[in-house]
Amino acid sequence: MHSRRALAWLFSLAGIAAVTIGGRAMRLNANTVGFAFLVVVLLASVRGGLLVGTVSSIIATLCYNYFFFPPLGTFAIHDPANWFALSAFLITSVIVNRLVAAAHHEAARAESEALKASLLRAVSHDLTTPLTAITIQTEALKRKATLDGELRDAVNGIDEETRRLRRRIDNLLAMARLQAGNAKPRREPTPPADLFHAVREHLPVPLTVHVDDDCPDANVDPALALEILVNLIENAHRVSPPDAPVLLTAARHGKDVRIEVLDRGPGIPPALTADVAQRGLGLQIARSLAAANGGTFDITPRPGGGTIARVDLPAAPLPEETR
Amino acid sequence: MSIAPVILVVDDDPSIRESLSSELRVSSYTTVSAGNGQEGLRAFAAHAPDLVLTDLAMPRSDGFELISAIRATSRTPIIVLSVRGNDPDKIRALDLGADDFVTKPFSVAELLARIRAQLRRTASATAATLSFDELTIDLERRKVTQGGRDIHLTPTEYGLLELLASNAGKPMFIEHIIARVWRNAPGTTADTVRVHMSSLRKKIEPDPSNPRYIVTEPWVGYRFIAEPVP
């Protein structure tokens, strides 16, 4: 990087000197020399970046003035037309410089985003492939009727931990994807009942579900919304007593759709409700993903014991409801 | 079906290919397998499978090429094994003619339900009546009953239900729905479809909080659930 920049300096100074000497020797007219200087500045900027380009523009402007605008051999300029030519030269070279720098920056950013995206894809594929094989083989083991009690417990343990691992990976990938910026949330009208349906396909835990009749569709990225709910329900399920399944509801709330995950677990000490971060990765992710969907997330004690995790998401009413 | 249906499994990972094939054989399917799109196409020509399961990302010749090549000559159901979060790939595969997808890592039970749905759809292509759980659609008399009760649908609602139910298990693109049910009438938008779909769903779903028959398919359109995932 250093040698590349040093080369650019060398190139720029040599180029300006060559144009000056050549221009004088061949008695070229000032316009031709101006364009030649511009080419040198442009190349210097492409090779060396904004600083090299800017300094090159200034040196070229000075040489241009000193050697090619009468009175020659001074920095004075008598003809107002030459003032104009020189200013136009300086402005053009500075603008060219900035454009080149911006293009460089954009190219570097695109390159790093593309790299992140392909890394994510590779990680996702490399983690998912063995996990898929493990899932299939674990199910094959579970099906074998000959498994005795101890072995069966072990296989069930593998099964459960595999699911957990899968969800952690899903979480991390969802977060990484958002942060990489290459996957902006793709929102579309999504009926909450369909989100709940997808949750049940992903997370086989007992759930009681209720969607109000007048609940509008939510305008969300369905995959991210699913991620939020799976996290919240997984958390809620873990603390729920066996006789009180997690309750999942959706209702109209002003201009939002309010989705709540209610459990009868031990609840959260009041000091912790303010700081969701202390409740683990799942809740942090829920909060970030809710924000990415234009929504909010908070958590409050449930009357009668337990916790309510609440996500408010923007509504997408049907056209006839908006009138 | 007296003869076991043949399923072609195409995946570049040998452990997935083998464990999947072995689980499918346990469920009385006959399997053939291939490690990339080209091998897959050769196996497709040689064995004329009843259904194809294919991964998308494979070295050399990928799943997209395989789907296009199969669709050029055949309507055999294709289920894609996609990776979580890679929705653009999934949608592209559906667009090329894949019939359904499962997301890795999937459960075998889920995959088997999807396979049954596709095989059933191809077997009942000429049926006069479609039935799913409590819902019956008499295609000749355009009559719909749910739990023994007659359901009165508008012509548009019936058109939607017939299109989706006769493609049960297959995600249907909004554009396709507009083309088939509205015959591309000017001014028909995704919102038009949403309004009619919403009223159809209210009429046929026994419990609207728990959809049994129709759900939205993210970024695609709608799907009729042939068989609930166990």
- Is B216 in CB contact (< 8 Å) with chain A? yes
- Is A213 in CB contact (< 8 Å) with chain B? yes
Q: What is the pLDDT of residue B1?
A: 47
Please, which residues have CB within 8 angstroms of residue B55's CB and are 6 or more apart in sequence? B10, B11, B12, B13, B16, B63, B80, B81
CATH of domain A188-321: 3.30.565.10
Chain A contact probe: residue of B209, B212, B215 with most A CBs at under 10 A: B209
The answer to whether the CB atoms of B208 and A213 lie below 8 A apart is: yes
Our CA-based measurement puts residue B108 at a distance from the nearest CA of chain A, in whole angstroms, of 6
Degrees to nearest 5, angle at CA A184 with A178 and A187: 120
- Is B16 in CB contact (< 8 Å) with chain A? yes
Q: What is the pLDDT of residue B117?
A: 92
At the top level of CATH, the class of B129-224 is mainly alpha
pLDDT tens, residue by residue, A262-304 = 999 988 766 555 555 455 667 778 888 888 888 999 999 999 9
Q: Report residue A106's pLDDT band, with 50, 70 and 90 as the boundaries.
A: confident
Using the 8-state DSSP alphabet, how is residue A215 labeled?
P
**Domain boundaries for CATH 1.10.10.10 within chain B:** 129-224
pLDDT of A87 over the 60 cut:
yes
- Is B215 in CB contact (< 8 Å) with chain A? yes
What does the pLDDT average to over A122-131?
Answer: 84
Higher pLDDT, A99 or B98: B98
- Of the candidates B12, B61, B19, B1, the one whose C-alpha atom is nearest the C-alpha of residue B34 is B12
What does the pLDDT average to over B165-174?
Answer: 94
Q: Where are the domains of chain A?
A: 1-183, 188-321
Q: Report residue A323's pLDDT band, with 50, 70 and 90 as the boundaries.
A: very low
Mean pLDDT value across chain A: 85
Q: What is the pLDDT of residue A201?
A: 85
Q: What is the pLDDT of residue A218?
A: 96
**Domain boundaries for CATH 3.40.50.2300 within chain B:** 6-123
Residue A220's closest chain B neighbor by CA? B218
Please, which residues have CB within 8 angstroms of residue B37's CB and are 6 or more apart in sequence? B10, B54, B58, B60, B61, B62, B63, B64, B65, B66, B69
pLDDT tens, residue by residue, A67-84 = 888 788 888 777 787 888
pLDDT tens, residue by residue, B17-43 = 999 999 999 999 999 999 999 999 999
Higher pLDDT, A234 or B158: B158
Separation between Cα atoms, residue A45 and residue A100, nearest integer Å: 7
pLDDT of B55 over the 50 cut:
yes
Q: What is the pLDDT of residue A133?
A: 92
At residue B168, what are phi and psi to the nearest 5 degrees?
-55, 135
Mean pLDDT value across chain B: 92
Residue burial B45-75, b: 16+ Cβ < 10 Å; e: rest: eeeebbbbbbbbbbeebbbbbbbebbeeeee
- Is B97 in CB contact (< 8 Å) with chain A? no
Residue A166's closest chain B neighbor by CA? B105
Q: Give chain A positions within 8 Å (CB) of B33.
A: none
- Is A188 in CB contact (< 8 Å) with chain B? yes
The answer to whether the CB atoms of B16 and A136 lie below 8 A apart is: yes
- Is B59 in CB contact (< 8 Å) with chain A? no
Separation between Cα atoms, residue B177 and residue B159, nearest integer Å: 9
For tokens 């996990």, name the residue.
A131
Q: What is the pLDDT of residue A313?
A: 95
The answer to whether the CB atoms of A139 and B108 lie below 8 A apart is: yes
Q: Which fold has domain B6-123?
A: Rossmann fold (3.40.50)
pLDDT of B169 over the 50 cut:
yes
The answer to whether the CB atoms of B85 and A139 lie below 8 A apart is: no
Q: How far is CA B103 from CA A20, A256, B70, in A?
A: 66, 30, 21
Please, which residues have CB within 8 angstroms of residue A291's CB and are 6 or more apart in sequence? A297
What does the pLDDT average to over A137-158?
Answer: 83
What does the pLDDT average to over A196-220?
Answer: 92
What does the pLDDT average to over B136-140?
Answer: 94
- Residues B33-37: contacts with CB within 8 Å, 24+ apart? B33/B8, B33/B9, B34/B8, B34/B9, B34/B10, B35/B10, B35/B11, B36/B10, B36/B12, B36/B60, B36/B61, B36/B62, B37/B10, B37/B61, B37/B62, B37/B63, B37/B64, B37/B65, B37/B66, B37/B69
Provide the sign of the torsion angle of the four alpha carbons A138, A142, A144, A149, taken in this order: positive
pLDDT of B2 over the 80 cut:
no
Q: For residues B219, B222, B157 and A196, what is the CA-based torsion angle, rounded to 10 degrees? A: -100
Q: What is the pLDDT of residue B113?
A: 92
pLDDT tens, residue by residue, B179-191 = 999 999 999 999 9
Query: Rounded to 5, what percent of chain A is helix, strand, coil?
Result: 65, 15, 20
Higher pLDDT, A98 or B71: B71
Provide the sign of the torsion angle of the four alpha carbons B198, B201, B203, B208, taken in this order: negative
pLDDT of A321 over the 70 cut:
no
pLDDT of B116 over the 80 cut:
yes
Chain B contact probe: residue of A128, A139, A219 with most B CBs at under 10 A: A128
Q: What is the pLDDT of residue A241?
A: 92
pLDDT tens, residue by residue, A225-257 = 998 899 899 889 988 999 999 999 999 999 999
Q: Give chain A positions within 8 Å (CB) of B218.
A: 188, 190, 222-223
- Is A164 in CB contact (< 8 Å) with chain B? no
